[in-house]
Structure 1
Amino acid sequence: MARTDVIVLGAGVVGVSAALHLAKRGLSVSLIDRKPVGEETSYGNAGIIEGNTYFPYPFPLKISALLKIAFKQAPEANYHLSYLPKIAPWLFAYLRHSRGAAMFEFAAKMRPLFANSIAEHEKLMREAGAERYLRTNGWLKIYRTTQAFNDAKPDLDAIAAAGLAFEALDTAGSMVLEPGLSPIFERGIYWPQAASVNNPLAVTRAYAERFKALGGVIVTGDARSLHRADGRWRVDTTEGPVDGAQAVVALGPWAQDVLDPLGIRLPLEVKRGYHRHFKPKGNKGLNRPVLDAEVGYAMVPMEQGLRLTTGAEFAARDAPPTPVQFDRLMPQARALFPIGEPVEDEPWMGRRPCFPDSMPVIGAAPGQSNLWLDYGHAHWGLTLGPVSGRLLTELMMGETPFTDPAPYRAERFMK
């Protein structure tokens, strides 16, 4: 029987970051997952550390956009028809939270996390010797039409009023940053206050190695076995039971598998997404992530190749993959940039854990002593992993947190 101060369930970037912060405080910590570090949702993303984020991801409101999605013609979204009745209430709640005054409420509550996200990554990267993976040259969002750029202008005006820096560019200005692009777009927005990494998996694993160097233990186990035993939390692992005085659930899309049996039922849903790596074609390359706004995908230079990431797919978490969005986006992606042959035989699928208000849950679990929650980071798991781990650790240690944690409490869904 192994005994530890804290059990952390989930070895993605969120769980690893939390475990590392706790180990830095001198606690004995066991990090438990059924898979190797970083191989689930943390592996598949655009690698952007979005310190510039202000508003939540929008729900499409234009009839033309909704019709394209409905008829499965939109690259940015896909759905399984059989799943729509289950997810419909969540989608309506998401719609309410992603427009009007709710957008500004999100901005005010989430700004402390986003504003500190890059600095927290940089601290951990220095400690973990992972600085080589970091790029600090921002990212570029391109608009194929001036109309699409103009549609975004009210949001951009609000972001500028909040003091976040960006540069509005024409085609020529955008291509100074990314000369490998084809001039088939009319406008661009450069976000200099963002960073990115060229291998998210390697970053997560570097943080895990730093955690181990501080005495942390990584064990293979089934988080669903979490239960109380002799006043402590216990999890069954391949090395026998592990007991902890406290436990942290950082399981992303799998969190409710553990929490529902404990009576903690929160409105989490999953936005599935895909990526695939491609070989370079010719001598052109990208210097930073590029988001094709109207088509709804990102192109990112990674160590594994040029990574293309899709938008959202609304389907059951464990349903078989249906990467049809690649069929819709590839012709337009190849027109924008010379893309070679795919590296993998099939696209990779991940699952983004999302609450309807697009904010994570960070803090004490309601109704369960010594149980803590750190999940539901939506599109920003990589961005927010270290800063969430810092906030959670400050709460667990009884310290004064660097920001008000009230907006992230689970109780916001229990009114």
Structure 2
Amino acid sequence: MRTADVIVLGAGMVGVSAALHLQARGREVVLVDRRGAGLETSFGNAGLIERSSIFPYLFPRDPAKLVKYALNLLPEAHYHLGALPSVAPWLMRYWRESAPERVKRSIAARRPLIEHSLIEHEELIRQAGAGALLRRPGWIKLFRREETLAAGVADAEKLRAYDLHIDILDARAVFEREPNLASVAGGVHYRDTAFVNDPGALARAYADLFSARGGRFVAADALTLEQEPDGRWSVAGPQGRIAARAAVVALGPWSDLIYRRYGYDMPLGFKRGYHMHYAPQSGATLHHPILDADNGYLLAPMARGVRLTSGAEFAPRDAPPTPVQIERCEPIARLLFPLGAALDAQPWKGARPCFPDMLPVLGEAPRHKGLWFDFGHAHHGLTLGPVSGRLLAEMMTGETPFTDPSPYAATRF
């Protein structure tokens, strides 16, 4: 049986980042994935390293909006009617965790991760020689109506207490930053956020750095994880089992397939999402990632083309794709920006792994020595991968953690 110090299960942004931080602390790490780095959830996001996202995504409290959501009338959210029996309990917990007094705790817990997120990425990007992937335009939240603009500005003003750089834009200022957009009421420019124009390529660059430093990548099924009689953890590789003193579950939306096996009951839910790429029409350029806040989709200037990303779909993780949000949003997006031909044969689908409090689970499994958790990053897997990896590696190697890890413990449920 081959051996290592740590087995990391999952080669998305979260898993690769954890592997790099453990490796930097002298651990011999084996990275396990059935495919390759950055080919699942890490592939299909908006590319934002969201340094300004201090406030979590909350369950809406507006009764009129809730009625529209219930009737599947708004493009930013969609649910499968047949999925309600399985989805509704999680949605109820999400609603409870979005209560004001609980949100305050969530903000306090997520703040140290968010505030260190870009710093940790910058260091790994430097080491990986991947600087060409990083942009610093910030992102712009657009509003079609004066009413929604006023609400968006009010939300932005609350963030100024966190030393963020925010510009409030009228229609003219939006045009100056994005001259190819149709007229809107205004927007908010969050300037601290960085942008990656190929998220999958960044995950692969980190994986290449891991391999160049002697790390082992094994194409294998993470679900073969077992605990050996001597307490070590092992997986079945192509050349036999590999054993280590510790194993890290960083499987994103598939993490429940491991932790439930060992008797842990955590409320992991899934916000599915879709994207499509389009060529811009001749002469048109998109300079920033743009969120159409009134319609719930985002346009991002990716290396492949302009990426249209959808809002959240509430459905079982593995249910067949139903990209109705892309179908609804594409005509609206074409009126906002001159999109040309679609560059993908069909929309890509992924699943954001979310806990009701919008915080990840980070730390050792309460009843299984050597089994560690690093998943549930909700909308911020790309943003939080490296900083989560640092915190996890500090805990695993006995360093003093840079922040109190207790808010992310599995025992909070």
TM range (shorter): over 0.9
Q: Which amino acid aligns with 1:246?
A: A
Which residue in 1 is equivalent to 2:261?
261
CA contact (8 A) 1:24 1:214 kept: no
Alpha-carbon shift at residue 99 of structure 1 (Å)? 3.6
Secondary structure of the 2:255 match is helix
Once the two structures are superposed, the pairs formed by residues 1-400 of structure 1 within 5 Å of their partners are 1-183=1-183, 185-229=184-228, 230-400=230-400
- d(CA) in 1 for partners of 2:248, 2:47: 25
Secondary structure of the 1:152 match is helix
Q: Which amino acid aligns with 1:162?
A: Y
- d(CA) in 2 for partners of 1:21, 1:373: 15
- d(CA) in 2 for partners of 1:64, 1:187: 24
- d(CA) in 1 for partners of 2:302, 2:99: 33
The unaligned stretches of length 5 or more in structure 1 are none
Alpha-carbon shift at residue 301 of structure 1 (Å)? 0.5
Secondary structure of the 1:142 match is strand
- d(CA) in 1 for partners of 2:163, 2:128: 32
Q: Which amino acid aligns with 1:391?
A: L
- d(CA) in 2 for partners of 1:99, 1:203: 36
- d(CA) in 2 for partners of 1:154, 1:190: 13
CA contact (8 A) 1:374 1:392 kept: yes
- d(CA) in 1 for partners of 2:188, 2:280: 24
- d(CA) in 1 for partners of 2:204, 2:270: 24
CA contact (8 A) 2:152 2:188 kept: no
Q: Which segment drifts farther, 50-59 or 64-73?
A: 64-73
- d(CA) in 2 for partners of 1:101, 1:74: 28
Residues 85-108 of structure 1: per-residue CA shift (max 9 Å, x gap): 212121111112224122222111
Q: Percent identity?
A: 51
Q: Cα RMSD between the aligned structures?
A: 1.1
Secondary structure of the 1:127 match is helix
CA contact (8 A) 1:55 1:104 kept: no
Residues 241-286 of structure 1: per-residue CA shift (max 9 Å, x gap): 1111110000110001011111122110111000011111121111
Alpha-carbon shift at residue 357 of structure 1 (Å)? 0.2
Q: Which runs of 4+ in 1 moved over 4 A?
A: none
Secondary structure of the 2:351 match is strand
- d(CA) in 1 for partners of 2:281, 2:238: 45
CA contact (8 A) 2:153 2:188 kept: no
Q: Which segment drifts farther, 153-162 or 224-233?
A: 153-162
CA contact (8 A) 1:219 1:239 kept: no
Residues 166-225 of structure 1: per-residue CA shift (max 9 Å, x gap): 111101111211112111x10100001110100000000000000001111111111111
Q: Which amino acid aligns with 1:94?
A: Y
The unaligned stretches of length 5 or more in structure 2 are none
- d(CA) in 1 for partners of 2:95, 2:162: 23
Alpha-carbon shift at residue 154 of structure 1 (Å)? 4.1
CA contact (8 A) 2:226 2:235 kept: yes
